[in-house]
Amino acid sequence: MSLIALIPLFPLIGFLINGLGYKKIPKAIVAPVGIGAALLSFITTVLVYFQFKADGQTIIQPLFDWITVGGLNISFAFQIDQLSIIMLFIITGVGTLIHLYSKGYMSHDEGYGKFFAYLNLFLFSMLLLVMGANYLIMFIGWEGVGLCSYLLIGFWNKRSDFGDAARKAFIMNRVGDLGFLIGIFLIIRQFGTLEYLSVFEQAQGLEMGNISIMFITFCLFIGAMGKSAQIPLFTWLPDAMAGPTPVSALIHAATMVTSGIYMVVRSNVLYTLSPDTLEFIAWIGTLTALLAASIALFQNDIKKVLAYSTVSQLGYMFIGLGVMAYTSGFFHVITHAFFKALLFLGAGSVIHAMSDEQDISKMGGLWSKIKITAATFLIGTIAISGLPPFAGFFSKDEILAHVFEHNKAMWALAMVGSFMTAFYMFRLFFLTFTGKFRGTKEQEDHLHESPSSMTIPLIVLAGLSIVGGFIGFPEIFHLPHALADFLSPLYDGSRAVNPEFGLVHLSHSTEWMLMGFSVLLAAVALGVAWFIYVKKETQPADPSQLGGIKKVLADKYYLDEAYQIAFVKPVEKASQFFYSTIDKKAIDRVVEGTGDLTSLLNRLSTKLQTGSTGFYILVMSIAVAAILILNMGTEIADQFFSIFNAQTK
Amino acid sequence: MTDYLLSILIFLPLLAGFIVVLLPKSLEPKSKFIALAVSIINLLISIYLFRAFDGSATGYQFMEQKPWINLDLGNFGTFSIQYLLGVDGISLPMVLLAGIVMLAGAVSSMSIDRRPKAFYTFFLLLTSSIFGCFVSLDFFLFFLFFEFMLLPMYFLIGIWGGERREYAAMKFIIYTLVGSVFILVVMLAMGLSVNAPMNSETPTFTFDFRHLADAKNYISGSVLDQSSSIEWLGWPVRSILFILLLVGFGIKLPAVPFHTWLPDAHVEAPTSISVVLAGILLKVGGYGFLRIGIGFFPEEALNFAPWIAGLGVVSIIYGAFNAIAQDDLKKLIAYSSVSHMGFVFLGFAAFNNEGFNGAIYQMFSHGLLSSMLFLVVGVIYDRTHNRLIQNYRGLAGKMPLYTGAVIIAFFGSLGLPGISGFIGEFFSLLGGFSSPHLSKWFPSIAVLGIVLSAVYLLWALQRMFFGNFWVNRDLKDQMHDLNIKESILLYGLGALAILYGVWPALLLDVTNKSVEFFLQSIGQ
């Protein structure tokens, strides 16, 4: 058994142990098994990385022939290359930290073992998603993480609104998956295979703008819209915050929701061939980034703010992909994984300290009470706001520079979103950690810093949020862009089909100017937030008190209500119509009608059987006479007579 | 002994049925063990056949051939009906499925205490005729078993069913008899048109599947001669007969709009009979249509491909919408069966490897999953005699084992990768997409079925299993978790569904070559 196969195997074993032994395995063993599985997986990833780095060649690890139908052969194989190895580091690395954090966070929960089993199953599915060497394995992981997301959002399923959130997430993702599935079918039609290497090699022979590639990339992107929460399939992600906070951090911030970006970067040859799809992606990303950021401005639930922020940041990643800056988009995946996991875990630590309170209007002044959480949360806030030299600054700035080159209007919108991001994040920070405490007396007495199993992950992630951006210095710093150099072989195909790929035309002075402008904007947003929430001590408004545009934003543009009217109600109506009108009234009426007809004939014929011979003879004579009269001279009469004559002779 | 394995599959249950009839009153409670033993033996034989089958060979294997009825019609020719058995990669998965489902049915019916002797006699007769259907290679013999299934089924629903059992049984009989008449007409026409290739001066009329599948054997000028120009009401007779088969087997499958017997039959049938009905009886429709409808009328089938696909797609979508409207769990699952069996017709209409393999896989998988689903309903019904979804809430906390099984069955049914349903639906759809005979609209619309199935299954899951525990009426004390028998049944089937979900080669190695050969023989 090769090392590579061990990476997903550990979490699978962890899942089986904790899943099958649920309620029988003592708590003291559950956590070591769960965390150990993630850690072993991480260690194996490191080993595989060195194996891979030795010659830098893509490793294909076939495990077995999986499905053979007719001419189609789908192998079960893993692919280790630059892209998957980075994803592996994120998944197993951040995954291990979050498993560790869960040990403390979930310690009082009765579903402790179940929780670790699900988390391990998630890791397994997510690893399949990024390690598979063909689109079918990606799809299996894709749906697998959807299942785990469903199970974990609805983890506390005694609350029916949590169940609703879980169901909504699964069904919305299913809508996206449907696109992904059609994309897979189209790939088979076009290329006769699903193996990445073969598909991308064949694709290099096609010309730009190929119509079937456009369909393929578009359909696959529909899948990404679902999984990565883009317009119009994003409304599940904020609701998904019903799940325990470690789940929000791992699945709904750091890993699963970035699958869409992974998929596009993985298929970069196909996307480069289809500029129309890319343009579409860029605009969807822009609108999502802006829409979600504007909703986040007036949310009072600490996790909801972070959730909309995630949707918005995912939008930025797609903007990057849409303008063909694949590396920049993926760079943001990496830095976002650090700082957003940090922010969510920080939020979890706050919620833990606040006795399960999530409303920031009841918080305030927590800085002195939970110092580690507060300091690390501040680092995350700076990182996401794009202030140098923290991680978010580098990745976001790189995206914005590419957007500027691509389309100035799009850049302007992205800058607006960026301003809002810095504002709502500092609003969140100030309202939570500064000023006076606004909660109840009991909450205040109970305030405490979280145990070390929770703060260690915070500190590690804070460190990564500080230095994570250094893997990609901008060119103007005259320092290496390690990430771009590392990922470069992935884009050989894109370079082959589009000679323009990867060329930057911005002058250094423009780039300095852009960078200066975005830093200035973030600083202004910080200042405004400070002025409103610290200087003037403005209290967060009760959403029901808001009016005008603020109310629309706080109520999320009424999208949920609109979807209810546009989709949910019509489906309910249609199903009622199909059942009670067509099935019961139309089809069954016909079926029962045949039965009724038979019994009617039966009743009529019964009446004829009077038992009186005279009656029978009468009827017979009438009938014969009728036949004779009606068919006089016709064949029947002739025949009748000929038979009659023959018999009487 | 091994030369007669297929005969044993048929005659062992038949013989056991006679023994049960003759059991003295004092031994009547033992009849369930006879049925159980027979089911186990049949399953073991099926597994043996499956293992011993040579997947790389074409044609039928384990064949048995005996002349049965030979009618000498003088100058007119000879009428030859044979006792002819055999399996290929298309029927063998159905034989294995029959083995699994009949055992599940036998185990789950062990709690039947009303007139067990009669029940098990009918059950064994049913077993015999189901196996007979899948291993017969003579149209006459096939039809005999096909018809013979109706009788025990009618009584099993009509006597051991629920409140409206007589209505349901009657509806079942009317529908299926109509279907049978259609198939009978085709069979008679076939018998008069096909000459076994033998060196005799007078024709030998035959029902041998192998001869019926070969266009050369059709007597020129006969009703079913390929080049026959005989018409009826302006339609070529061959097309009319094909439509008869489409409707006849479509009723059994069932395809919308010939499906309304199914929800009623299921709702009234006892759990074990629902399991048999959904698990294996419906597959006779799919199998028969493939073997006879497509196999013997390839050109007509191809011409009607959009209609076949249309029936499939309508069933998928319409069945799913109807499932959404249900508040009786058993009815919901019955309509989900209509929806999932729609993929079978879609796969057939594709006329390619992917589609046919997908359709067969879908039948097999649906057999496992629908058995599981009806057992799931049975668990609730046994405890409370009530199946209304709104009467239950939060069962997850009270019945964790049960909930685990339900989650496997539901997610398998909604096509989650890793469980068998995904493979079947994936390849049926893929077949549709890669078929030159179909518009891409068919599979594109059918894909919506996977979203709709998530809608109704998750809705049911949430309403019944999540939230705080609450049960209508004073039934709380009866809501105990699965007992050993139920656990073995549900988790056993669940394990099989997962096994065939992650290791599809188990089945595909058997079907692949036969499907290829079948496609060649129909000129694809």
pLDDT tens per residue across span A524-540: 999 999 999 888 888 87
Interface check for B350 against chain A (CB to CB < 8 A): the answer is no
What is the DSSP secondary-structure string of B313-350?
Answer: HHHHHHHHHHHHT--BHHHHHHHHHHHHHHHHHHHHHH
- Nearest residue to A349 via CA among A376, A372, A373: A373
Q: Which of A68, A164, A174 sits opposite B512 (nearest CB)?
A: A68
pLDDT at residue A581 is higher than 80: yes
| Preceding omega of A32 cis (within 30 degrees of 0) | no
Flag if B447 and A144 touch (Cβ within 8 Å).
Answer: no
Is the model more confident about A507 or about B19?
A: B19
B423 touches chain A (CB under 8 A): yes
Query: Is B417 in contact with A144 (Cβ distance < 8 A)?
Result: yes
Residue A611 has a pLDDT of 67
How sure is the predictor about A602, in pLDDT bands with cuts at 50, 70 and 90? Answer: confident
Cβ burial of B282 (10 Å; 0-12, 13-18, 19+) is: buried
Inside any domain, residue B286: no
Q: What is the reported pLDDT for A637?
A: 46
Give pLDDT tens digits for B368-416: 999 999 999 999 888 888 888 888 888 888 888 999 999 999 999 999 9
CB within 8 Å of chain A, chain B residues 268-327: 318, 321-326
Nearest-angstrom CA–CA distance, A320 and A315: 9
Choose the mutation target among B167, B260, B445, B487 for the interface with A, i.e. most A CBs under 10 Å.
Answer: B260
Residue B459: closest C-alpha in chain A: A167
User: How many domains is chain B built from?
Assistant: 1
Cα B341 to chain centroid, rounded: 9
| Structural domain for B483, as ranges | 304-524
Residue A227 has pLDDT above 50, yes or no: yes
Residue numbers in A near B458 (CB within 8 A): 150, 167, 170-171
Q: Are A252 and A474 in contact (CB under 8 A)?
A: no
Closest CA to A28 of A111, A107, A123: A107
pLDDT at A646 over 80: no
Pairwise pLDDT comparison (A550 vs B186), residue with the higher score? B186
Shortest distance between the Cα of A619 and any Cα of chain B, in A, equals 32
Average pLDDT on B261-285 reads 92
Residue B250 lies in a domain: no
Domain ranges of chain A: 298-554, 610-649
Q: Dump pLDDT digits (tens) for A70-81.
A: 888 899 999 999
Tens-digit pLDDT profile for residues B131-162 = 999 999 999 999 999 988 888 998 999 889 88
d(CA B339, CA B312): 8
Q: pLDDT value at position A187?
A: 94
Tell me the average pLDDT of chain B.
Answer: 90
CA–CA min distance B267, chain A (Å)? 15
| pLDDT at A589 (0 to 100) | 83
Q: Taking Cα atoms as reference points, which of B360, B349, B249 lies closest to residue B308?
A: B349
pLDDT value of position A643: 54
> Structure pTM?
0.91
The C-alpha angle with vertex B406 and arms to B404 and B412, in degrees rounded to 5, equals 105
Evaluate whether residue B19 is within a structural domain: no
Q: pLDDT tier at A453 (50, 70, 90 boundaries)?
A: confident
Residue whose structure tokens are 């050989």: A492
CA distance A205 to A215: 17
Beta strands in A228-289 (DSSP E): none
Burial class (CB in 10 A: 0-12, 13-18, 19+), B165: buried
Per-residue confidence band for A642, with pLDDT thresholds at 50, 70 and 90: low
Average pLDDT over residues A218-237: 93
What's the distance, CA B117 to chain centroid? 26
List the single residue in A with minimal CA-CA distance to B422.
A140
Q: What is the pLDDT of residue B169?
A: 87
**Residue pair B243/B79 in contact by the 8 Å Cβ criterion:** no
Alpha-carbon separation of residue A234 from A144, A222, A302, A338, A417 (angstroms): 19, 12, 18, 22, 17
| Residues in B touching A158 (Cβ below 8 Å) | 394, 397, 466-468
Query: What is residue A649's predicted lDDT score, i.e. its pLDDT?
Result: 44
pLDDT > 70 in chain B, percent: 98
Q: Once rounded to an integer, what is the mean pLDDT over residues A207-215?
A: 90
CA distance A313 to A301: 18
Query: Residue B386 corresponds to which tokens in the numbers above?
Result: 């009530």
How far does the CA of residue A251 sit from the closest CA of chain B (Å)?
A: 19
Residue B341 has pLDDT above 90, yes or no: yes
Q: Please give the average per-residue pLDDT across B73-101, as a whole number.
A: 89
| Cβ-proximal residues to B126 (8 Å cutoff; 6+ apart), any chain | B149, B152, B153, B156, B276
Nearest to A8 by CA among A73, A79, A112: A79
CA-based nearest distance B511→chain A, Å: 9
Predicted pLDDT of residue B189: 86
Best of A140, A172, A567, A575 to substitute, by most chain B Cβ atoms within 10 angstroms, is A575
Please check the confidence at residue A634 and state whether its pLDDT lies above 60.
no
Chain B residues with CB-CB distance to A143 below 8 A: 416-417
For residue A49, the tally of other CB atoms under 10 A from its CB is 15
pLDDT for A282 equals 95
Give the pLDDT confidence score for residue A648 in this predicted structure.
46
Tell me, yes or no, if B170 comes closer than 8 A to chain A by beta carbon.
yes
Question: Given CB atoms, is B516 within the 8 Å cutoff of chain A?
Answer: yes
Long-range contacts of A45-48 (CB under 8 A, 24+ apart): A45/A7, A45/A85, A45/A88, A45/A89, A45/A92, A45/A93, A47/A3, A48/A3, A48/A4, A48/A7, A48/A80, A48/A85, A48/A88
pLDDT at B193: 83
Task: Check residue A75 and give left, alpha or beta (phi > 0: left; psi -120 to 50: alpha).
Answer: beta
Q: Which residues of B touch A571 (CB under 8 A)?
A: 321, 324, 452, 455
In degrees and rounded to multiples of 5, residue A447 shows phi and psi of: -55, 130
Of the pLDDT bands very low, low, confident and very high (cuts 50, 70, 90), residue A548 is: confident
Q: What is the DSSP string of B370-420?
A: HHHHHHHHHHHHHHHS--BGGGEE-HHHH-HHHHHHHHHHHHHHTT-TTSH
**For A53-64, what is each residue's pLDDT tens digit?**
888 888 899 888
pLDDT for position B339:
95
Q: What pLDDT, on the 0 to 100 scale, is given for residue B443?
A: 93
Strand, coil or helix: B88: coil
Separation of first and last alpha carbons in chain B:
38
What is the Cα–Cα distance from A244 to B464, expressed in whole angstroms? 22
pLDDT digits (tens, 9 = 90+) for A113-123: 889 999 999 99
Instruction: Tell me the pairing of strands B235-236 and B392-393.
Output: unpaired
As a whole number, mean pLDDT of residues A390-404 equals 91
Cβ of A172: how many Cβ atoms within 10 Å?
Answer: 26
Any idea how long chain B is?
524
- Closest Cα of chain A to B126: distance in Å? 26
User: pLDDT digits over A467-517, tens only?
Assistant: 988 888 887 888 888 888 898 888 988 888 888 887 777 888 888 899 999
For tokens 């009530």, the residue is B386
In a mutagenesis test of the A interface, which of B174, B322, B331, B516 is the best target, namely the one with the most A β-carbons within 10 Å?
B322
How many other CB atoms are there within 10 angstroms of residue B198's CB atom? 12
pLDDT of A645: 53
Over residues A212-237, mean pLDDT: 93
DSSP 3-state assignment of A164? helix
Distance from CA of B156 to the nearest CA of A (A): 21
Choose the most confident range, by mean pLDDT, from A110-119, A177-186, A205-214, A366-375. Answer: A177-186
Chain A residues lying within 8 Å of B467, measured CB to CB: 157-160, 163
Residue A620: band (very low, low, confident or very high) from pLDDT cuts 50, 70, 90: confident
B430 min Cα distance to partner chain A (Å): 6
Mean pLDDT within A337-357:
91
The predicted structure's pLDDT at residue A636: 47
Q: Is residue B521 part of a domain?
A: yes
From B321, B451, B455, residue closest to A578, measured CB to CB: B321
Q: Which residue has the tokens 């051939």?
A: B65
Distance CA A439, CA A355 (A): 10
Classify A61 as helix, strand or coil. Answer: strand
| Gap between the Cα atoms of B500 and B280, Å rounded | 17
Q: CB A594 to CB B174 under 8 A?
A: yes
Average pLDDT over residues A409-433: 93
In chain A, which residues have their Cβ closer than 8 Å to the Cβ of B358? Answer: 69
